[in-house]
Amino acid sequence: MAQSNKSRRVRLETQMPEETTAETGRPQRAVRERLPLLPLKEVVVFPNMVIPLLVGRPMSVAAVEESLASGRLLFVCAQTEPNEDTPSLSSLYKVGVASTILQTMRMHDGTMKIVIEGLARGSIRRLIHRKSMLEVVVRPVQSTGLNDKRGVALMRTTLAQFEDYVRLSQRIAPEILMQLRNVTEAEMLADLICAYLSLRTEERQELLATVNVRQRLEKISALLMRENELLEIEREVRDRVREQMEHSQREYYLQEQLKAIHQELGKTDEGDESSELRQMVIKAKMPKDVEEKALREVARYERLPFMSPEGAVIRTYVEWLADVPWRKRSKDTLDIEKAKVILDKDHYGLDKVKERILEFLAVRKLSKKAKGPILCLVGPPGVGKTSLGKSIARAMDRKFVRVSLGGVRDEAEIRGHRRTYVGSLPGRVIQSMKKVGVKNPVFMLDEIDKMNMDFRGDPASALLEVLDPEQNHAFNDHYLEVDFDLHEVFFITTANNEFDIPYALHDRMEIVRLSGYTSYEKQHIARLFLIPKQLRESGLKKRDITIEESAVGVLIDRYTREAGVRELERRLAAVCRKVARKILEKDTKAPFVVTAETVSELLGPFEYSELRADLELQPGVAIGMAWTHTGGDILHIETTTMKGKGALTLTGQLGNVMQESAKAAYSYLRARAKDLKIPETFYKTWDLHVHVPEGAIPKDGPSAGVPIAVSMLSALRGAAPKKAASMTGEITLRGRVLPIGGVKEKVLAAHRAGIRLVVLPKENEKDLVEIPEEVKADTEFVLVNTIGEAFKAVM
Ligand code: ADP
């Protein structure tokens, strides 16, 4: 609708015709009976509507010419078949509008532009074909009125709906509303609203043909309701789309700004970053296939939007690929003579161990191949496993790296997580390789006996793949995804307890045992290695401090209880720190002399009571020896008898094996009661109670058989043993004594506790070579085949 509202309003007011209809009481224009016909395609004109029209058909042009010549009136009505050029009566809607031509404009191609204004409804009675045009005979259509209050209400409702429509559609100038609010005529209001609504031709025609004004308004109201609903939905959709657009535009804008900021700061932008990554890949000199993969990833990185999270993942991955040592290696010399010198220089004692290691290295050197067993150093903490590993690396001129496997229960810790996991990383093996930076380091895998297996897979089998020379030239880390060659790595493993090493691994190991040091050896280690090292670390000079041998002795006996020297080293470090402070604070004059007495001034009260066996001989008490993870220990076994019915009570957290040993000893005594000179019916009249003090500590193992039997016999006889001895050995019901393990640790513990008589199974005689000379020198060993010999030795 192209007409201007102003012009229409003016015309509505000024062109008010003279006649008034009876029905509506409003002025009604005269309609001549016979009028030229202007058939319209897809346009429905309403009374009071001003509309420009393009007239092209010759028949229509002729009708306009005729009208202009005869008072400017013509009849317009819509065609039911818009495609028909010369409509018949049946292809015209019956109801149309008599209109007046307000303006004309002739175009050079013979067509015309005209502006008409609708005057009044009329209905076609007859169609007359003239030479060049159509004429119609029409009859006026009188609308039926609506003047009651309900009519007013209906007008208001419709107007209100139309106001909403104007607001929602945003296609109609709001001034139109001002004009409509002043209309008091229901029919006029209806027709004006119709003029503005955008409806389909059929709907408009239906409204035109509805004679009853109330019905017409009701129909308009219904249509408005539908349109308003649709518009409301449209608006919601539009708003949502706009919001999304704004969000992405905002993001784009911010990212552009960020780029600009980076450039201002002189930081590389993404283009440079990817070329930097590419350079990194090329410099890393990876194997061909790995390099191809890495470059593919870089290309993918380039295509990603700036700062995308996936970009960061790819970047980290490529950096990992570039950082692991694909080619770099340190020169690898292995001179056995030099190795011996280094091992000796770094470690006191350990002769057997050093020899084994040198043999191992020699075989490796001769056979040239990396294949063969893996060295596994087994022993309690602090006995020098790690430092031996370091010395081996030094001897071979290789770099050293160490990773602890204690507590590892997830295969992925060894083999890495797949890249699909958030924050995934390579496993510990690849991480350590990156850290050490060469492909041929000495690689120490610590505490392989402390790995656990659970639902997350078996770390031991992953470790096997790492260690197995058949497989490890193509080790596949889940994160790296490409094979990494480990076959030049010299692996060393360590464990605290040989029996906890997973079976499959144990099979491949060359086990070298380190069993712990005597106090005497510890003294030497402290003097030759630990004290000089701690002086260096605390910045003290030799002239600042003197640590007397007796002081080291106190540190060993009263502040530590261990097989190795780790705690001793810590204590020495503490002593050095405290002395350093005193010297700095000028609290003392150099040299500060650390004696057995000053130690407790520096470190506070003793940590352990003196390890002395209770050597007072009492009926029912015998001393056993135990092997523990931190070396060896002694234990007192007590038996008491009381009147009863032959019950045997065992306390002190004894394990199953130890309880069975006790029962075997009991049965043996019962069976041999006569020979052993004890009351033959003791099992009927006496109760026996065997207790092993420090009851809170669980104890187990078969080697307590001998001391338990001695303790029971001594209680039953009511006589104390003749000699203070410590004993070990498994017993059978026939009284045989079987060999046991951990002889060195046990003997050292007994020696530390001041015991000088040790009863051992005869079959353990071979183990005595391991006992240090200074211990052998003041200890008497009794080797027994039967329990009877053990009784004879001590009772
Ligand atoms: P582990 O790995 O067996 O737990 P470490 O190798 O860490 O033990 O040893 C602990 C400390 O004791 C190190 O400082 C080490 O140099 C020192 N140490 C252990 N045994 C000896 C030894 N025989 N000679 C010299 N120093 C030793």
Mutate to test the pocket of ligand 1, among 344, 377, 383, 556 (most ligand atoms within 8 A of CB): 383
* Among 458, 466, 515, 514, residue whose Cα is nearest residue 491: 466
The minimum-distance atom of ligand 1 relative to the CA of 380 is 3
Rounded-to-integer distance, Cα 648 and Cα 665, Å: 11
Please tell me the number of Cα atoms within 13 Å of 530 on its side-chain side.
27
Strand 757-761 to strand 780-784: parallel, antiparallel, or no bridges (unpaired)? parallel
Would you say 447 and 498 are in contact if contact means Cβ atoms under 8 Å apart? no
SS3 654: strand
How far does the centroid of ligand 1 lie from the alpha carbon of residue 384, in Å? 3
Rounded-to-integer distance, Cα 529 and Cα 525, Å: 5
Rounded-to-integer distance, Cα 463 and Cα 466, Å: 5
Mutate to test the pocket of ligand 1, among 565, 569, 572, 576 (most ligand atoms within 8 A of CB): 565
Pair of tokens at residue 457 = 């897979």
Close Cβ partners of 719 (under 8 Å, ≥ 6 residues apart): 619, 795
The minimum-distance atom of ligand 1 relative to the CA of 381 is 4
Q: Cβ of 375: how many Cβ atoms within 10 Å? A: 24
How far does the centroid of ligand 1 lie from the alpha carbon of residue 387, in Å? 5
Rounded-to-integer distance, Cα 196 and Cα 190, Å: 10
CA angle 312, 314, 316 (to 5 degrees): 70
The residue length of the chain stands at 795
Q: What is the pLDDT of residue 378?
A: 92
What amino acid is encoded at 721 in this protein? P
Close Cβ partners of 412 (under 8 Å, ≥ 6 residues apart): 427, 456, 457, 478
SS3 238: helix
How far does the centroid of ligand 1 lie from the alpha carbon of residue 375, in Å? 17
Q: What is the pLDDT of residue 270?
A: 53
Mutate to test the pocket of ligand 1, among 445, 566, 571 (most ligand atoms within 8 A of CB): 566
Residue nearest to atom 16 of ligand 1 (CA): 387
Residue nearest to atom 5 of ligand 1 (CA): 384
The minimum-distance atom of ligand 1 relative to the CA of 521 is 23
What does the H/E/C string look like for 256-280? HHHHHHHHHCCCCCHHHHHHHHHHH
Strand 509-513 to strand 490-495: parallel, antiparallel, or no bridges (unpaired)? unpaired
The minimum-distance atom of ligand 1 relative to the CA of 379 is 3
Rounded-to-integer distance, Cα 205 and Cα 636, Å: 118
**Residue 607 φ/ψ, nearest 5 degrees:** -85, -35
Q: What is the pLDDT of residue 146?
A: 72
Low pLDDT (below 70) residues in the chain: 1-32, 147, 266-271, 368-371, 453-456, 610-614, 629-630, 695-696
Residue nearest to atom 17 of ligand 1 (CA): 384
Q: Is the peptide bond before 325 cis (omega within 30 degrees of 0)?
A: no
Residue nearest to atom 26 of ligand 1 (CA): 347
How far does the centroid of ligand 1 lie from the alpha carbon of residue 566, in Å? 7
The minimum-distance atom of ligand 1 relative to the CA of 390 is 6
Rounded-to-integer distance, Cα 729 and Cα 781, Å: 13
How far does the centroid of ligand 1 lie from the alpha carbon of residue 220, in Å? 100
**Residue 32 φ/ψ, nearest 5 degrees:** -75, 150
The DSSP letter of residue 754 is: T
* Helical H segments across 170-212, by residue range: 175-181, 186-196, 201-209
Close Cβ partners of 761 (under 8 Å, ≥ 6 residues apart): 728, 729, 730, 737, 738, 739, 740, 783, 784, 785
How far does the centroid of ligand 1 lie from the alpha carbon of residue 131, in Å? 126
Structure confidence by residue, pLDDT tens digits, 588-640: 777 888 998 889 888 988 888 766 666 778 899 999 998 876 677 888 999 99
How far does the centroid of ligand 1 lie from the alpha carbon of residue 751, in Å? 22
Residue nearest to atom 24 of ligand 1 (CA): 347
Catalytic residue among 354, 439, 522, 746: 746
Per-residue DSSP letters for 688-733? EEEE-SSTTS-B--GGGHHHHHHHHHHHHHT---SS--EE--EE-T
Close Cβ partners of 106 (under 8 Å, ≥ 6 residues apart): 112
Residue nearest to atom 10 of ligand 1 (CA): 382
Is 703 designated active site?
yes
Mutate to test the pocket of ligand 1, among 392, 529, 552 (most ligand atoms within 8 A of CB): 529
Is 746 designated active site?
yes
The minimum-distance atom of ligand 1 relative to the CA of 377 is 3
**What b/e string do you get for 421-458 counting C-beta neighbours within 10 Å, with b at 16 or more?**
eeebbbbbbbbbbeebebbbbbbbbbbbbbbeeeeebb
How far does the centroid of ligand 1 lie from the alpha carbon of residue 572, in Å? 14
Which amino acids bring their CB within 6 angstroms of ligand 1?
Answer: 347-350, 381-387, 525, 529, 564-566, 569
How far does the centroid of ligand 1 lie from the alpha carbon of residue 394, in Å? 16
Catalytic residue among 703, 711, 714, 726: 703
Q: What is the pLDDT of residue 420?
A: 81
End-to-end CA distance of the chain: 130
Residue nearest to atom 15 of ligand 1 (CA): 384
Rounded-to-integer distance, Cα 106 and Cα 785, Å: 140
Would you say 635 and 623 are in contact if contact means Cβ atoms under 8 Å apart? yes
pTM of the model: 0.60
Mutate to test the pocket of ligand 1, among 343, 387, 570 (most ligand atoms within 8 A of CB): 387
The DSSP letter of residue 212 is: B
How far does the centroid of ligand 1 lie from the alpha carbon of residue 466, in Å? 26
* Helical H segments across 555-595, by residue range: 566-584
784: β partners: 761
* Among 668, 757, 744, 745, residue whose Cα is nearest residue 705: 668
SS3 446: strand
How far does the centroid of ligand 1 lie from the alpha carbon of residue 60, in Å? 116
Rounded-to-integer distance, Cα 310 and Cα 678, Å: 85
The DSSP letter of residue 105 is: E
Q: What is the pLDDT of residue 95?
A: 94
Would you say 424 and 480 are in contact if contact means Cβ atoms under 8 Å apart? no
Residue nearest to atom 27 of ligand 1 (CA): 384
Q: Cβ of 149: how many Cβ atoms within 10 Å? A: 7
Give the CA radius of gyration of the chain: 55
Residue nearest to atom 22 of ligand 1 (CA): 347
The minimum-distance atom of ligand 1 relative to the CA of 383 is 3
Per-residue DSSP letters for 339-400? HHHHHHHH-SS-HHHHHHHHHHHHHHHHH-SS-SPEEEEE-STTSSHHHHHHHHHHHHT--E
How far does the centroid of ligand 1 lie from the alpha carbon of residue 447, in Å? 15
Q: What is the pLDDT of residue 531?
A: 94
The minimum-distance atom of ligand 1 relative to the CA of 533 is 14
